[in-house]
Amino acid sequence: MIEKQCTLKNKVSVRGAGLHTRQCGTLTFNPAPVNTGIRFRRIDLENQPIIEADVDNVIDTTRGTTLGKGGVKIYTVEHVLASLRGMGVDNVLIDIDVEETPIMDGSGRKYVEAIRKAGVVKQKAKREYLVITEPISYRNDVLGIELTIVPSDTFMVDVTVKYNTKVLDEQSASLHDLNDFETEIAPCRTFVFLHELETLLSRNLIKGGDLTNAIVFVNKNVSSEELDHIAAFFKKPKVTVKEDGILNNVDLYFDNEPARHKLLDIIGDLTLVGKPIKGHVIAYKPGHFSNTAFARKIKHSLL
């Protein structure tokens, strides 16, 4: 059976603050013609410049994937891209009126709900896949990172993360059928270690974080004064550390939610190759820099 390209039946919008910039804006998914691909349009700027969701447009991977072209930027695109790929959308024009996509609850859930509400429809053109015919790998021996993709009739991902901490050591997650993305991967939220918060804040990042859009792991002894300081910064009456080593701001949806979120990030970053992939990804200790370097290697090996 010949698979067809897909777009949205109707346009649909979400609104929220960006994780790092705290800019509150609206992101709108618009139906698009065949062979459009995924494109972002900054409607707040003169001439409404467009940035294609292309790995060659990646300009930064600090705590997220940033696209840029001609001096125009879009921050933190990975959850949007993962949601579109997970829901089978090939062609879409994404209007956004700020520099950063809304973080929502730190997952892809709200984006998936919006796409579901808009509806996904088939188009007349054939869907073109990037088919993996031989293994392609990316390694960083210093950091112990390895990503490999091998031939497969479908798109599959296996991820292992390892942080060498008591509260979060080694975890794995798998997705072998994109039909399971909506329930098994999309709801999984981003995460951070408590000791990283001060560093991120000192770099003028996570200004839009509010303890409702991230799992916070605590891998050190924390005084009541430190917890009070955290509560005050995020405008919460009180925060405590639960028995499983996370702050009491959220409950885990899955025991391996961090690994599942890393899998979501991989799907988003690999969407930047420009076509849906037929191949099996095996990733060890992935991150946005390695994901996009891997995506770039795949794209330029096969296209």
pLDDT in tens, 39-83: 999 999 999 999 999 999 999 998 899 999 999 999 999 999 999
Q: Is-above-0.85 flag for pTM? A: yes
Catalytic one among 20, 79, 280, 288? 288
Residue 266, token pair as written in the block:
């991989």
pLDDT at 293 over 90: yes
Q: Residue 164: pLDDT band by 50, 70, 90 thresholds?
A: confident
* Domains defined for the chain, CATH in brackets: 4-128 (3.30.230.20)
Are the C-beta atoms of 55 and 288 separated by less than 8 Å?
A: no
What is the CB neighbour count within 10 angstroms for residue 56? 15
Which residue, among 100, 51, 95, has the nearest Cα to 78 in the 3D structure? 100
Q: Is 300 a catalytic residue?
A: no
